Structure 1
Amino acid sequence: MPPIVTSHFGARRFRGNARHLLWNPFHNSGAGPLAASLTDHRCSARAKPIPAALGKHAPALIRTRLFVSTVSTELASARRLVADTLRRLGFDTVTQDDFPTGHGELRAWLEQQIAGCEGVFQMVGSAYGREPPLSDAPGRPWPDPAFGRCSYTQFELLYAQRLRKRTWVIEVGPGCRRDREPAQLDLPPVRDGAPPHPDPAGYQAERRALQLAYVERLRAANHLRHRVDSDAELENRVLRLKDELAQLRARQERHQRRLGWGLGGVFATLLLVGGGLLWSNHWNTTTIVAQTAAQQQITTERIRAHLLTAVEDAYRRDLQAAETVADWQAREQQRQAAAAQRAAQVARIEDLAASFAAIEARGEASGVFTELTRILKEQGVDPALAYVAAKRVGILDQVRNRQAAARQRNRDDLQPLLTSAGLYAAKGEAEPARALYQEVLELEPEWPTALDGNLRFLIAQGDLAVVRGRLPDAGRDFAQAKALAERLAGLEPDNREWQHNLGMCLERIGNTKTAQGDLAGALADYGQSLATAERLAAADPSNADWQRDLAVSHYRLGKIADRQGCEDLLRQHWGEVLTIFAAMQQRGLHVSPEDLAGLEKIRARVQGAAR
């Protein structure tokens, strides 16, 4: 395992370098170097600026689209990292996660999306993934004779190569984060009511062999030119491809310009041809308007009649129910209520009937609405309601998909502002950056990329305020960063990265309160940070950063206990620090020389307190 040079904030988003401003409120206290080591490794934060070679192209009319491919069960987090990095560089990304529910065959959708992209990034791991179903359909058999047996993920790259798309294949080593343990990958699917697979181990071994053969074919064809062994290497590998990506973008822009010139010529021709049609169109306008008005009147009358029938039926049922009441006063009250309801419904019928006809006349009606209107005219209210009930799920799914598409368009439009905020921050101009982040999030409050960018900016500003001795400003920035981290964690409760960010914000708030003398407040924040660190460390015992974070949380709580004179509590927390690092060493996880030196001082203090 490589040395832990930095325990980066949010796993891949915060890394230290020589320019970062570090803060360690315990640097000259108590346990010596471990205090500095345990603090500095997690304290720096700075957003990476967009490379100039790509940033100047960001406002392009049509953004270059790239398909990002991998086996979701194994490397969904890696795919998300690559997609986020490409979006920061000004590209649109498409992944299999974008496949809309109810669209139809996945393979056809993948072909359509890859054909519309300029290139494909694929992360190759050990998992094979799902296969398309067998098919002997004419013209679309599966397996494809040209590809042989392959998974959906392998097909994505092979199909892109068939279309001569630009491709980048990255081999993801064991040091990168996996979303599922290797033993849980490529197992037979479990279906409700179906008997279990008779040989799960054989099923898995067969698919592992297919994946190994695929990797060897890629290597033999010189397609496997990139290998990474950590999330940081994966992100940096994508960033180092900026020159190739810039060339790809320039090629697409040249194609757009040529297409624009061709469309301009076609448009001019259509203007000449279309001019001769204007007189005949004008001659027909009066007739069409008159026919539309007459049809609208017919539609309104028929809908009104059916609605009145429905209202009268409901009124009769209410009167019949009133007659069953024994008390005459209650019976009279129900009759009056039925009459009042009937009057209110009749008053609305005219407007409701007219609205149906008006929507159809304006040409704004959907196919479902047109059919609803027809059923209402021809069959009545109850059949119309039954029809809409049958269409309800499809309508809601369609609207949700449309909202998601609109949300993505908004984010694409806001991306230049978000990028500019990062550039202002990189130049050290905090106020314009702060204003841009706020404006973007007011319009897209649930945009993870914007939330994460603003969070990193606030952490960096808070660290700078600490160095300058402005602790109230630091507390404000850290508190705002915590609010953003909570929103991110709420969007994806199972995303461990967002949980890690929240723990880091709580720790920084605790650091600030400690420096201000608010030990009770710091104790509460450190306690919450400890709870987050415990969950993450338990979820992945092999993650050295998260094990170390847990040790840091106990160390800080021990420092509070020391300042409060609670020797037993100090011994408890610092004893946990020693236990955690001992377990890390037993599992072969890296412990830095600085940490080892600090551990000796902590051990001496714990043993001294015990005596």
Structure 2
Amino acid sequence: MSAPPKVFISATSGDLRSARKVVEQALIKSQCLPVEQSNFHPDWRTLEDLDRKKIEDCQALIHLVGWRYGAEPDPATLPPGTPRRSYTQHEYHVGRRLQTELGDERFRVYVFLCPQGFPFDPEPDAEPEEKRALQIEHRRMLERSPYRYDTPADDGELEKAVLAMREEVFAIQQEQVQTTAVVQRSHSLLVLVLLLVLVLGGGMAAFHHFTQQGLSAIKADQKIDTAKIKTHLRESSERRLEQDLQAADLEAKSEARERLKDNAQAAHQSRLARIDDLAASFALIEGRADATEEVKEMGRILQEEGVDAALRYIEGKRAALLARVAAADAAHVEQRRAQLQPLLQAAGLQATKGQTAAARTSYQDLLKLDPQWPQALEVYAWFLFGQSNYYLTTGPLSAAVLNAQQCLAHAQRFHDLDPTQPRAQRVLSAAHNQMTDVLTQRGAKGDADEIIQHCQQSLAMDEDLYDANPDSAQAARDVSVSLDRLGDFLARRGQPGDAEAALLHYTRSLEMREKLLAANPDSAQAARDVSVSLNKLGDFLAQRGQPGDAEAALLHYTRSLEMREKLLAANPDSAQAARDVSVSLNKLGDFLSQRGLPGDAEAGSSTTRVAWSLPRICWPPIPTPARPRGMFR
């Protein structure tokens, strides 16, 4: 049985002691092992190594964030240009770097931003304003980042969220185990280099059996002189011993000083005990028929010039060696994906036939085999998008929310593989838009805060795509759709300043769509988009009711109706065009009836009668969209 997954807990003690205990107990319930850093070193340089060593031994990191900055390394030890961070903030950044390096499938960071109403522990003292400001900026950075975070209202919600992580954490552990096995089979040269470094640092497992078995197979023309290598290794260990003893002499307390010296001597003896096996391993590998030129040259330099020279040589070769191995791995991965491609295509066919359960299973099976396959992540995200849209139309709403959440998770994984890829940016933007739709429909407690985040993230991604492709009509249209969504949310929410912001978003959306129509005057889609924006502005102004709003709303409604009547005249058999005219007539009729000026009641009644006189084609069944509604209205 494998050891339980390890999860590192990063939290300040001053205000989150109880919350940290909640997380610990939840992890234990999930059969995970909680890990914490109990001793913090005041020197930044030492802290960097200690944090990374402890965190990279885990499968995940939980970052609990309150309003307290907490302790920090001595700012005087920070290199020039290094940002000032508390110990817990530093742990978060180490974890995030590991997630970037290893990928979501091998390490993950979970962030919990505890809001103002969270049951914090009483703080032992008041922090300086400077530290408070640094912590507030850290929270803002987390809110602005593209990564997901949770905002638990209390300990119960926090525990529930941690318990829900269990399957992901166990999957990450399994991925690490499989990856480690591949590396151990494939990368013997890199393992050798690590062995050298570990031995000199005092941290290698016994290598004796391997070397003794292999020495009998060394070729007759072996050139490695193990005696010389042993001499250099011994000298290197003695230099390290001297450094450790000098460092121990700096300790003021005699008891601690003697303990450090004893530790230094013990480490030296441990290194000496491994020297014979390490020297023999160089002889063994150099004598093998498949030994690379790098390992032969490394052994020669070690023999003639010593440990430092050998390490300098291999460090200069490190990038090329890693690139070579990565290229070999990439070729292997592409071969495997080529073999799986028919199954991926079959999943698409199943979805097209409406065999959604079978398609879902097929996509999941493929992503279990290859969790970082970009094409599979992309098409599965779009599949989940369509499923969420389907359930949003037919119910149940819970299924729409679940599929939207899964869509966002897979879109984020696809995006994380290459954040510069426009296709990845677009599917992630669509996923955020879908979350906006389902959460707006649900309207549960806390959904409003999440909706605004999804709206803003979608708009930011669409803006980036448009900035990179200013001539792209699709990119411009995506921005206009996201502007409308954000405007809709702000108009509904009605907090101070929301109305002004909503009007700005609606106005900018209309301006972008006007430009698209001017560039494509024959485009029915561009014309309809302009009419949609005109109606949105008309609705907003009619509702707001400030001086001049009624006149502006009437102009927008009238122009929208004129455009839609032209579209219907050009496409008399179009159900959508007929329905659009009916909607505009009803909007105009309602507006006139409510305005109440002389003649408005008669005009309003007349337009409503015209709307109802249109053929029943105006009310076609609304099909389930197969692509994002945020992209194709």
Tell me the TM-score range normalised by the shorter chain: 0.3 to 0.5
- Between Structure 1 and Structure 2, the one with more helix by share is 2
TM-score between the two structures when normalised by the length of structure 2:
0.44
Compare relative contact order (CA 8 Å, sep 6+) and give the higher one, 1 or 2: 1
Output the TM-score relative to the length of structure 1.
0.46
